[in-house]
C-alpha cells in the first residue's frame, strides 16, 4: 500500500476561524470536549443507521461507544468512537474547508464583535465545533477509518494554516481525535483536561444525556497503595425526552439543545410533549434565540431528528416539520415505526402526518403564549423568525388562523412598536370595514408615499409591510376576522363619510366635467404606460400617484416573479391626478387653451414619471426623463 502523505493549506475562511480559536476568543474552553463528544455521538448514530440500510456493510456494531483516554505524562486527551468514520476525501472536505453558505458574513461579524461570548455564538451557528480544540491544543491529531473501507487516514495540524494528511493501514473503525494540550493556565481558563474530576464535570454538565456509553479508564488506589485500573461509564445515557419534565432541569435542556443544534447560545423556549393512544411518541423541541445564517438559503436544513425507540433514524426529518418551521430544533421519538423506514415512506405515513399536525399546533400555541405573556421573548422570536413563519400563510391553510394570531407588523399607529392584527381591528374607526395596508421596500418609503396622504389626513391606521413574503400572503389570505385586507395602493379609495360625500358631491361633479377633456387626452398620450388616467380621492398634497387595479399584481410581485424566471405580462397601472394641486390645475387650463401646445405632452409625461418616483418605482427611460425635466426647467429661467 502506498503511504501517501500530503501537506495542504486550509481554505482561507477556515484559516481565519482557526486563528480566532487559537487566540482564545471564547472564555469557556471546556466546550471543546462537548463538541468532540457530540461529533462522536453523531458518528455512532450514522453507523447504526447505515448498518440498518446496508445489510452488507462490513462494520462491527456490537459495542458502539465513545471512549475518553488521557495520558498525563504526555499531556494528551483522546476522544475515540467506533462509529461511521471518514474517508481521506471526507477528512479534507469536512475539516480543511467550511462548506457552508454565509462564511464571509460570519467572519465580518466576528471581526466587528468585541464580545467574546457573542463571537462564540456566531461560530456556533456554523457547526464548526471541531475547531474549538485549538483553544486548548498546541497540536491536534485525528486518526480515522470509514466503516467498510480498508485504508485509514491520519490528519494533523497545529492550526497555523496547514495540515498533513497521511494514508495508513492500521486505523481501527471510527475516529479518534487526540488533543495535545497547552500548559495549564487558570488565568486564561485553561484547566487540566487530563484530570478525572474535570472530565467528569464536563461530561455531566454537557453530555450526560448522550445515548451512547462514554467510557473512561480510571485509576484507584487500594490497600497497600496498590493501583488498579477499571473502565467506567461516566454518563447516565438517559434520553432527556423520555423523562418527565419535572425531573429535568433547565441546564439539562439547554445542554441538550446545544448538542442537537450545534449552537453555542441557549434556546429561547423549550417544548416538551408526549403523545399517547394509538400512536405513542415523545418530542423535545426548541425555539432558538437567533436565526441560522442559512435560514433563507434554498437548501436550508430543518432541525428535527427522528428516533424510533431511542434509536436514531434520521437527521433533518422533513416529514415532521413544515418548511416554514425549519428553524425549530429537537428530537421526536416514535414508538411504533420500523427502524428502516425511508424518507419517502415517511412522507406518506398517516401516523407521522398526525404527529406533524400536533407538533405544528403546539409550536404555534407556544408562540401565541409568548406573545401574550412574555413580550421580550416574543419580540426576539419575531425579529429572528417572523418572515419565515409568515411563509406558512402560503403553505399551510389548515393553520392560517393560528399563524395570523401570532403575526406582528409595523403600523402607522406607533413609530416603534409592532402591532397584532387583532389589535388593529380593535382600533378600527366606526364605520371602517377594511384593514388597510401597504407593501414596500422600507417603512420610510411607505410612510412618505403619496398613497398615504388621505389616510394620514383622515386618521386611518395603515399596516406597513416590508418583508418580501408580505407581497404574497396578504393577497392569498385576503381577510382577518371577517375584515378584508385592502391595499391602499390599489383600486378606488374614498374615506369620506356619507355626509361628507353628500356635501362634496356637487364639487366633485364639477371637477369631473372640468377635467374630462384632460383625462381623455392624457389617457391617449400615456397609453403605452397606463391603462387609465382619473381623478384621485386619496391625494391631499402630491400632484399625482400611480395605483393598481383592485385585482392586479403589484409591481414588486411582478419583479419577484421575473427574478424567479417566470413569464409575467406587463401590468399597466392607473395614473390618478389631484385636482386640487396647482400643477394639475395649471395643466388643465393649458390643455383647455391649446391641446396641441408645445411641451404639453412632455408635462404629462413628467407628471407620470414623478408619480412613479414618489412611490419608489423605476422609470422606463431615466435619461429621457431627466432630459425633458432639464429642458422644462431651463424654459422657466
- Could you tell me the three cell numbers for 296? 433563507
- Residue 270, C-alpha cell as written in the block: 423549550
Known binder of ligand: residue 459? no
Distance CA 205, CA 127 (A): 20
Distance separating alpha carbons of residues 141 and 151, to the nearest angstrom? 17
Ligand-binding annotation for 286, yes or no, is no
User: For residues 34 and 129, what is the distance between their CA atoms, to the nearest angstrom?
Assistant: 9
Q: Which of these, 507, 527, 533, lies nearest to 588 by C-alpha position?
A: 533
Contact 115, 131 (CB under 8 A): no
Residue 125 annotated as binding? yes
Question: Residue 126, annotated ligand binder?
Answer: yes
Q: Residues 6 or more apart from 524 whose CB is under 8 A from it?
A: none
510 is written with which cell numbers? 364639477
Residue 533 DSSP code: E
Phi-psi region of 444 (alpha: psi -120 to 50; beta: other; left: phi over 0): alpha
Residue 129 counted as an annotated binding residue: yes
Q: Give the separation between CA 159 and CA 28, rounded to whole angstroms.
A: 19
86 is in an annotated binding site: yes
Report the run of H or E that residue 8 belongs to, with start and end: strand 5-9
Tally the residues of the chain: 637
| 101 among annotated binding-site residues | yes
Of 68, 62, 14, the residue nearest 36 (C-alpha): 68
**Rg, C-alpha atoms of the chain:** 33
> Is 102 assigned a ligand-binding role in the annotation?
yes
**Phi and psi torsions of 81, nearest 5°:** -130, 160
Cell, residue 195: 484530570
The values of phi and psi at residue 301, to 5°, are: -85, 150
Q: Is 100 annotated as a binding residue?
A: yes
- Return the C-alpha cell found at 418: 409592532
Q: With H, G, I as helix, E, B as strand and everything else as coil, classify residue 389.
A: helix
Q: How far apart are CA 108 and CA 128, in angstroms?
A: 17
Cα 400 to Cα 406: distance, rounded to the nearest angstrom? 10
35 is in an annotated binding site: yes
* Rounded-to-integer distance, Cα 131 and Cα 159, Å: 9
Q: Check the annotation: does 368 bind a ligand.
A: no
Helix (H) or strand (E) holding 310: none
What count of other Cβ atoms lies within 10 Å of the Cβ of residue 533? 24
Q: Residues at the annotated binding site?
A: 35, 39, 81, 86, 100-102, 125-130, 175, 343
Bind-site residues for ATP: 35, 39, 81, 86, 100-102, 125-130, 175, 343
Amino acid at each position: 500500500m502506498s503511504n501517501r502523505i500530503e501537506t495542504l493549506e486550509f481554505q482561507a475562511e477556515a484559516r481565519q476561524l482557526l486563528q480566532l480559536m487559537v487566540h482564545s476568543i471564547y472564555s469557556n474552553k471546556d466546550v471543546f470536549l462537548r463538541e468532540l463528544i457530540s461529533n462522536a455521538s453523531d458518528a455512532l448514530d450514522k453507523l447504526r443507521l447505515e448498518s440498518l440500510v446496508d445489510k452488507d456493510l462490513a462494520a462491527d456494531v456490537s459495542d458502539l461507544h465513545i471512549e475518553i483516554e488521557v495520558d498525563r505524562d504526555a499531556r494528551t486527551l483522546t476522544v475515540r468512537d467506533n462509529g461511521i468514520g471518514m474517508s481521506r476525501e471526507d477528512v479534507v472536505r469536512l475539516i480543511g474547508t467550511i462548506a457552508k453558505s454565509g462564511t464571509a458574513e460570519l467572519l465580518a461579524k466576528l471581526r466587528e464583535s468585541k464580545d467574546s461570548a457573542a463571537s462564540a455564538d456566531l461560530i456556533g451557528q456554523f457547526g464548526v465545533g471541531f475547531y474549538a480544540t485549538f483553544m486548548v491544543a498546541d497540536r491536534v491529531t485525528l486518526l480515522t477509518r470509514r466503516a467498510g473501507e480498508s485504508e485509514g487516514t491520519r490528519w494533523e495540524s497545529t492550526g497555523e494554516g496547514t495540515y498533513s494528511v497521511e494514508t495508513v493501514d492500521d486505523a481501527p473503525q471510527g475516529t479518534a481525535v487526540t488533543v495535545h494540550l497547552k500548559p495549564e493556565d487558570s488565568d486564561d481558563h485553561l484547566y487540566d483536561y487530563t484530570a478525572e474530576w474535570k472530565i467528569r464535570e464536563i461530561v455531566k454538565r454537557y453530555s450526560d444525556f448522550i445515548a451512547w456509553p462514554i467510557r473512561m479508564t480510571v485509576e484507584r488506589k487500594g490497600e497497600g497503595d496498590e493501583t488498579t485500573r477499571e473502565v467506567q461509564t461516566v454518563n447516565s445515557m438517559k434520553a432527556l425526552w423520555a423523562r418527565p419534565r419535572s425531573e429535568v432541569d433547565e441546564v439539562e435542556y439547554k445542554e441538550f439543545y446545544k448538542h442537537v443544534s450545534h449552537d453555542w447560545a441557549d434556546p429561547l423556549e423549550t417544548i416538551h410533549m408526549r403523545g399517547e393512544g394509538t400512536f405513542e411518541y415523545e418530542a423535545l423541541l426548541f425555539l432558538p434565540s437567533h436565526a441560522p445564517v442559512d435560514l433563507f438559503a434554498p437548501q436550508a436544513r430543518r432541525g428535527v431528528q427522528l428516533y424510533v425507540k431511542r434509536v436514531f433514524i434520521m437527521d433533518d426529518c422533513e416529514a415532521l416539520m413544515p418548511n416554514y418551521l425549519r428553524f425549530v430544533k429537537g428530537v421526536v421519538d416514535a414508538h411504533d415505526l420500523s427502524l428502516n423506514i425511508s424518507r419517502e415512506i415517511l412522507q406518506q405515513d398517516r401516523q407521522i402526518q398526525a404527529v406533524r399536525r400536533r407538533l405544528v399546533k403546539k409550536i404555534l400555541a407556544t408562540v401565541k403564549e409568548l406573545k401574550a405573556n412574555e413580550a421580550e421573548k416574543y419580540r426576539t422570536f419575531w425579529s429572528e423568525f417572523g418572515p419565515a413563519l409568515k411563509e406558512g400563510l402560503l403553505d399551510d391553510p389548515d393553520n392560517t388562523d393560528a399563524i395570523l394570531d401570532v403575526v406582528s407588523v409595523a403600523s402607522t399607529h406607533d413609530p416603534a412598536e409592532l402591532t397584532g392584527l387583532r389589535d388593529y381591528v380593535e382600533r378600527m374607526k366606526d364605520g371602517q370595514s377594511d384593514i388597510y395596508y401597504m407593501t414596500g421596500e422600507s417603512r420610510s418609503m411607505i410612510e412618505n408615499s403619496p398613497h398615504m396622504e388621505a389616510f394620514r389626513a383622515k386618521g386611518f391606521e395603515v399596516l406597513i409591510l416590508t418583508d418580501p413574503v408580505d407581497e404574497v400572503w396578504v393577497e392569498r389570505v385576503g381577510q382577518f376576522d371577517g375584515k378584508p385586507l385592502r391595499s391602499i395602493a390599489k383600486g378606488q379609495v374614498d374615506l369620506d363619510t356619507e355626509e361628507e360625500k353628500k356635501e362634496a358631491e356637487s364639487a366633485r361633479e364639477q371637477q369631473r366635467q372640468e377635467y374630462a377633456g384632460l383625462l381623455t387626452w392624457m389617457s391617449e398620450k400615456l397609453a403605452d404606460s397606463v391603462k387609465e388616467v382619473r381623478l384621485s380621492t386619496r391625494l391631499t398634497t402630491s400632484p399625482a400617484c400611480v395605483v393598481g387595479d383592485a385585482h392586479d399584481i403589484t409591481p414588486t410581485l411582478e419583479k419577484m416573479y421575473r427574478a424567479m424566471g417566470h413569464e409575467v405580462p406587463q401590468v399597466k397601472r392607473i395614473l390618478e391626478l389631484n385636482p386640487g394641486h396647482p400643477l394639475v390645475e395649471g395643466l388643465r387650463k393649458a390643455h383647455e387653451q391649446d391641446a396641441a401646445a408645445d411641451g404639453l405632452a412632455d408635462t404629462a409625461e413628467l407628471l407620470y414619471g414623478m408619480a412613479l418616483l414618489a412611490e419608489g418605482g423605476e422609470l422606463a427611460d431615466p435619461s429621457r426623463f431627466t432630459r425633458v425635466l432639464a429642458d422644462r426647467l431651463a424654459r422657466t429661467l
